[in-house]
């Protein structure tokens, strides 16, 4: 198997996408954070001293998606046209699920941007709530769906939730 980020001498390289066609590409990623009931209640009731946790996490997720190429060495800088975030309350966990949808029209996909957005958003929740619960867990960070590009459409089986 040839790895696209290695040249013929096994040296790292950024893949040349200049000959690829521009297509609309969308990626959706998600992840969860589990916390104590006390921490969950503080977030829901807006009683976290650092401010509105959910709004801040959404802003952080958007920034994370936009900064992906600064953090992941072989990612191309992309002209993202849209980043949308949803946060689901999971009272039985207790915790939250963050979903990030990234979109662009370009030569390469936005999977890494959606995934990075999820990670940064969840880490922001951790940062803002750690004074209440240092034992929080971030888990199930994964690509849910991707559309566009040569490799076609991918959608995670809904049974894997």
Q: What pLDDT, in 10s, does the model give residues 9-20?
A: 877 877 778 878
Catalytic residues: 127
pTM (2 d.p.): 0.91
Q: What pLDDT, in 10s, does the model give residues 137-147?
A: 999 999 999 99
Share of the chain above pLDDT 90, in %: 75
Q: What residue spans define the domains of the chain?
A: 36-148
Contact status, residue 104 vs residue 114, Cβ threshold 8 Å: no
Q: What is the 3-state secondary structure (H, E, C) of the chain?
A: CCCCCECCCCCECCCCCCCCCCEEEEEEEEEEEECCHHHHHHHHCCCCCCCCHHHHHHHHHHHHHHCHHHHCCCCCCCCEEEEEEEEEEECCCCEEEEEEEEEEEECCCCHHHHHHHHHHHHHHHHHHHCCCCCCCEEEEEEEEEEECCCCCCEECCHHHC
Q: Domain 36-148 in CATH: superfamily?
A: Molybdopterin cofactor biosynthesis C (MoaC) domain (3.30.70.640)
What span, in angstroms and rounded, lies between the C-alpha atoms of 81 and 103?
A: 6
What span, in angstroms and rounded, lies between the C-alpha atoms of 53 and 9?
A: 47
What span, in angstroms and rounded, lies between the C-alpha atoms of 68 and 94?
A: 29
Q: What pLDDT, in 10s, does the model give residues 124-160?
A: 999 999 999 999 999 999 999 999 988 889 999 877 6
């Amino acid at each position: 198997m040839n790895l696209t980020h290695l040249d013929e001498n096994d040296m790292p390289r950024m893949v040349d996408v200049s000959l690829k066609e521009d297509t609309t590409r969308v990626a959706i990623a998600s992840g969860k954070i589990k916390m104590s009931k006390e921490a969950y209640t503080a977030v829901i009731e807006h009683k976290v001293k650092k401010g509105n946790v959910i709004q801040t996490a959404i802003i952080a997720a958007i920034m994370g998606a936009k900064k992906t190429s600064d953090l992941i060495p072989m990612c191309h800088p992309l002209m993202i046209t849209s980043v949308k975030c949803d946060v689901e309350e999971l009272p039985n966990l207790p915790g939250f699920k963050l979903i990030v949808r990234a979109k662009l029209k370009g030569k390469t996909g936005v999977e890494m941007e959606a995934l990075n957005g999820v990670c940064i958003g969840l880490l922001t929740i951790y940062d803002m709530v750690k004074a209440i619960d240092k034992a929080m867990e971030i888990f199930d960070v994964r690509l849910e769906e991707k559309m566009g590009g040569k490799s076609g459409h991918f959608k995670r089986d809904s049974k894997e939730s």
